[in-house]
């Protein structure tokens, strides 16, 4: 298995080892926008793909149990679950300065994505960062990695690469499912619950379609607008 396929596992393990012990005492980053999102002006364009109904159903069950433990946190709806393929215009309050690049970015997407084939991701176990809980996603073939590399190369050749991987290079295929919104919670109980699900099987999806979406930071269902769908052909 190539480095591109094994790197996600190392990232997830590193996150759990670092953040898991801190979670027990609530040493997490509380999202300042989740109490009142009226002042949150962050927007962006993201190339995403959506897990199938079976994965959404299993994740939904997990989230209902988590919400019973920590009801005041932010939980993603099953319809909001997505794998980020590439942040085209990184979600930020500066999107108005970058939106002019969107037509050129879409031209690159049209050219690159039509050559790509479906790919498969296995969703297995959970991990945690200082900001969020994630379902671990593992690319099961080279398709997603190749797509990302081809997009990075094409964007940079067009002089559009300065905003790619602004926060970090996207190499995983995780689903963000929960964000920390309130400091008061039974954090140890949440930690123990997540630890119990470190090896839970959430299923797998063979992805046949990508979407370019315009959304807020949380890909909220009431904000997301699908700009384009891209079918992947066998």
Kindly report the pTM of this predicted structure: 0.93
Nearest one of 27, 40, 31, 62 to 188, comparing CA atoms: 27
The stretches of 76-224 forming alpha helices (DSSP H) are: 95-98, 102-113, 143-157, 187-196
| pLDDT averaged over 10-residue windows placed end to end, the chain, 234 residues | 72 97 96 84 93 98 97 95 93 75 92 94 98 97 94 88 58 96 96 98 98 94 95 89
Q: Which of 25, 162, 168 is nearest to 105 (CA)?
A: 162
Determine phi and psi for 40, rounding to 5 degrees.
-90, 105
Q: Give me the count of residues in the chain.
A: 234
3-state secondary structure of 175: strand
pLDDT attached to residue 99: 82
Please give the Cα distance from 232 to 234 (Å, whole number): 7
| DSSP-derived 3-state class of residue 109 | helix
Task: Read off the tokens for 18.
Answer: 């670092």
CATH 3.90.550.10 is held by the domain 3-31+43-231: no
- Domain definitions of the chain by residue range: 3-31+43-231
Helix (H) or strand (E) holding 68: helix 53-69
């Amino acid at each position: 298995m190539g480095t591109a396929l094994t790197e996600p596992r190392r990232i997830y393990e590193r996150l759990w080892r670092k953040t898991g012990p801190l979670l027990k005492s609530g040493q997490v980053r509380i999202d300042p926008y989740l109490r009142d999102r009226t002042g949150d002006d962050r927007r962006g364009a993201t190339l995403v793909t959506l897990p199938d109904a079976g994965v959404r159903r299993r994740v939904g069950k997990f989230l209902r149990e988590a919400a019973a433990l920590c009801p005041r946190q932010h939980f993603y709806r099953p319809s909001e679950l997505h794998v980020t393929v590439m942040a085209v215009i990184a979600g930020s309050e500066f999107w108005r300065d970058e939106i002019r690049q969107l037509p050129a970015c879409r031209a690159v997407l049209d050219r690159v994505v039509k050559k790509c084939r479906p790919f498969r991701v296995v969703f297995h176990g959970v991990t945690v960062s200082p900001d969020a809980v994630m379902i671990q996603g593992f690319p099961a073939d080279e398709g997603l990695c190749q797509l990302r590399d081809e997009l990075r190369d094409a964007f940079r050749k067009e002089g559009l690469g300065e905003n790619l991987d602004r926060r970090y290079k996207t190499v995983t295929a995780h689903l963000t499912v929960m964000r920390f919104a309130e400091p008061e919670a039974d954090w140890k109980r949440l930690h123990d619950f997540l630890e119990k699900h470190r090896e839970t099987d959430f299923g797998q999806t063979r992805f046949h379609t990508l979407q370019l979406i315009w959304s807020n930071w949380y890909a909220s269902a009431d904000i997301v607008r699908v700009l384009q769908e891209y079918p992947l052909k066998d």
